[in-house]
Structure 1
Amino acid sequence: MEDASQGSVSLGSDPLDALEIPDGTTVEEHDLVTDGDVIVGGQSTVEFGVRGRNVFAGERVQFGGDIEAEGDCRLDVWCDVAGNVLVGQDAYLGERVHVGGRLMVSGDLDIGDDVDIEEGFEASGWIVIRNPVPTLVFYFIVLSQLLRLGENEAADELAESLTGDSEIDPLVVPRGSTVSDDAWRASTPAHVGDDCRLHGNLRAESITVGEDNNIFGSLRARGDITVGPGTRIHGDVTTRNGTVTIEGDARILGDVSCSELELHENAAVDGTMRAKGDMRIVRADVSRDAE
């Protein structure tokens, strides 16, 4: 039986129930770059610029740079973008959105009242001024009702429509989170895919990091932390009550502090290792037998 959580959007009690960083995500000159969609929950702060396929943001989200969306861009009420917004297809801007630069839309523009675009805008298609229900609010109200009624198949279809039914997982920032050069902070679990290059300390309820990543910062969680094979963490790894698992060929360029530690024999920790409970070394032959 397949794990229901392995879809384009995690369908739990809240569709934004984890910080999800998909494979290949990078931070390039203060821009957060991903091949898939970017979904940001309300009242979050993303101090980077953002480049992705489609960009969706809830209410009162702040962006510290430009937004570049190959497809659609939808910004709900009171969003603030410090730079330009460049959209390859259609755009929706809710009421009282502020754009510090220029808005360029290749398709249609749906815009609410009191939108402030400091350097003007251009749209190649239709321009409609109205105040419909904000897009993310509408999606998530309907999605939560479907989940409450047990209509999982219908919820799956709605979630796929939100992300364009793409095989590429979206980058998801939960409600009330902060993403910056200094720290990625979320009150939810955090999942990092493979082949990512990130700057900033990662703070979350629990943390799972995939293979062959470079994270220039520390990891800190209340629960468990897993560091996948070939990943380098340029900082400390700390959990208050959980287990730290460091897999083969991973390297921690800092200290490790946890309740219990599981360390692959081919992994390396440059600093001090502290565990309140058990500290186990996993042999390479044991790892292969478990696969």
Structure 2
Amino acid sequence: MAGHRDPLDELVVPDGTEAKEVALETDGDVLIGSRSTIEFGVRGRNVLAGESVSVDGEIEAEGDCRLDMWCDVAENVLVGQDAYIGERVHIEGKLKVAGDLDIGDDVDIEEGFEANGWIVIRNPMPTIVLMFVYLKHLLLIGEEDTAQRLISELVDEDADEDDPDTEPLVIPGNATVGDDAWRVSTPATIGDDCRLHGNVRAETIAVGSDCNIFGSLRARDDVTVGDGTRIHGDLTTRNGDVTITDDARILGDVSCADLELGPGAEIDGTIRADGEITMATGERDLE
């Protein structure tokens, strides 16, 4: 049987995501895998964090927020709808919930909490853990359509009817995301019109169009840079090929196996290619 990749086992940065000074902002949902460290605050529609996630800023969720056990949040947690807080979660600031609050044992909220709806003290998070175990089982037996429906229920149940297809921001387990670096051991996909700070380290990297990445890209395998994107740093791959498409620009060195350059692509630094260098030509007006 062919292997199936867990759709949560990849860094996915949706279109229009911005890493600002204090927060990582996206219009859709945010899924954070267990034991990850986020060196920003997080702002999104629904925010779901796995076990032992550390967030160094404020969490602001327009919809629901679910924090699994042992999570640590350095500032406030502000929730527009319902909150589900697992046991032994630590929040250094305040917890404000516009809807209902399910809260586990031994939760430490240093500046107190308030909820406008029902407050239930129990351990709500094992249900979420069970859902993810079930998801992995579905993928193992090849039920990918059923697994995708489950993911949609988890992250899109409160989606705006006018924008139902907004892709979630997915940060895989054991990742580090910060102003200095984005480090994952999985593939990384960055959408269009994103503005990120930090060096990106991943298995493979695909960057969309019209992005600004203020840092370098380093991957074990292939790297693709979309039309009009600017990479303010070096681009390096250990074993893979690099494709730099139309009018993209690398403000640094490029090191790879094969290199393909689209029309108008620019590299400001040194090129080190062990294989072939291909330069595509496009129709341009002659003056």
Please, what TM-score do these two structures have when normalized by structure 1?
0.92
- The answer to whether the Cα contact below 8 Å between 1:110 and 1:130 also exists between their aligned partners in 2 is yes
For residues 107 and 189 of structure 1, the distance between their equivalents in structure 2, rounded to whole angstroms, comes to 36
- Which consecutive unaligned segments of at least 5 residues does structure 2 have? 158-163
In structure 2, the residue corresponding to 1:163 is in which secondary structure? helix
1:273 paired with 2:271, answer: yes
1:61 paired with 2:53, answer: yes
1:76 Cα deviation after fit: 0.1
1:155 Cα deviation after fit: 1.7
In structure 1, the residue corresponding to 2:156 is in which secondary structure? coil
Q: Deviations over 1:149-175 (max 9, x none)?
A: 333332222111011153100000000
**Aligned match of 2:225:** 227
1:209 paired with 2:194, answer: no
**Aligned match of 2:92:** 100
For residues 86 and 123 of structure 2, the distance between their equivalents in structure 1, rounded to whole angstroms, comes to 7
Counterpart of 1:196 in structure 2: which amino acid?
C
Q: 1:141 aligns with which of 133, 157, 166?
A: 133
In structure 2, the residue corresponding to 1:134 is in which secondary structure? helix
Q: Deviations over 1:233-273 (max 9, x none)?
A: 00000001100100001000000001111111311111111
**Aligned match of 2:234:** 236
1:279 Cα deviation after fit: 0.9
1:148 Cα deviation after fit: 2.5
- The answer to whether the Cα contact below 8 Å between 1:113 and 1:131 also exists between their aligned partners in 2 is yes
In structure 1, the residue corresponding to 2:15 is in which secondary structure? coil
Counterpart of 2:187 in structure 1: which amino acid?
P
1:135 Cα deviation after fit: 4.7
**Aligned match of 1:175:** 173
- The answer to whether the Cα contact below 8 Å between 2:102 and 2:124 also exists between their aligned partners in 1 is no
After TM superposition, the structure 1 = structure 2 runs for residues 17-28 of structure 1, keeping only pairs within 5 Å, are 17-28=9-20
**Aligned match of 1:289:** none
For residues 37 and 126 of structure 2, the distance between their equivalents in structure 1, rounded to whole angstroms, comes to 18
Supply the RMSD in Å over aligned alpha carbons: 1.3
- The answer to whether the Cα contact below 8 Å between 1:74 and 1:135 also exists between their aligned partners in 2 is no
Bigger Cα displacement from structure 2, 137-146 vs 71-80: 137-146
For residues 201 and 158 of structure 1, the distance between their equivalents in structure 2, rounded to whole angstroms, comes to 33
Counterpart of 1:115 in structure 2: which amino acid?
V
Bigger Cα displacement from structure 2, 114-123 vs 135-144: 135-144
Counterpart of 2:188 in structure 1: which amino acid?
A
**Aligned match of 1:263:** 261
Identity of aligned residues (%): 66
1:12 Cα deviation after fit: 4.2
For residues 180 and 230 of structure 2, the distance between their equivalents in structure 1, rounded to whole angstroms, comes to 18
**Aligned match of 2:160:** none
For residues 141 and 123 of structure 1, the distance between their equivalents in structure 2, rounded to whole angstroms, comes to 30
For residues 97 and 153 of structure 1, the distance between their equivalents in structure 2, rounded to whole angstroms, comes to 33
Q: CA 1:180–1:194 in 2, change beyond 3 Å: closer, same or farther?
A: same
For residues 106 and 62 of structure 1, the distance between their equivalents in structure 2, rounded to whole angstroms, comes to 23
Counterpart of 1:188 in structure 2: which amino acid?
T
**Aligned match of 2:282:** 284
- The answer to whether the Cα contact below 8 Å between 1:224 and 1:244 also exists between their aligned partners in 2 is yes
- The answer to whether the Cα contact below 8 Å between 1:13 and 1:144 also exists between their aligned partners in 2 is no
Q: Deviations over 1:89-147 (max 9, x none)?
A: 00001000000100000000000000000000000000011114435422211111222
**Aligned match of 1:123:** 115
For residues 235 and 46 of structure 2, the distance between their equivalents in structure 1, rounded to whole angstroms, comes to 33
For residues 251 and 136 of structure 1, the distance between their equivalents in structure 2, rounded to whole angstroms, comes to 43
**Aligned match of 2:161:** none
For residues 135 and 188 of structure 1, the distance between their equivalents in structure 2, rounded to whole angstroms, comes to 26
Counterpart of 1:262 in structure 2: which amino acid?
E
Q: CA 1:71–1:133 in 2, change beyond 3 Å: closer, same or farther?
A: closer
For residues 260 and 9 of structure 2, the distance between their equivalents in structure 1, rounded to whole angstroms, comes to 27
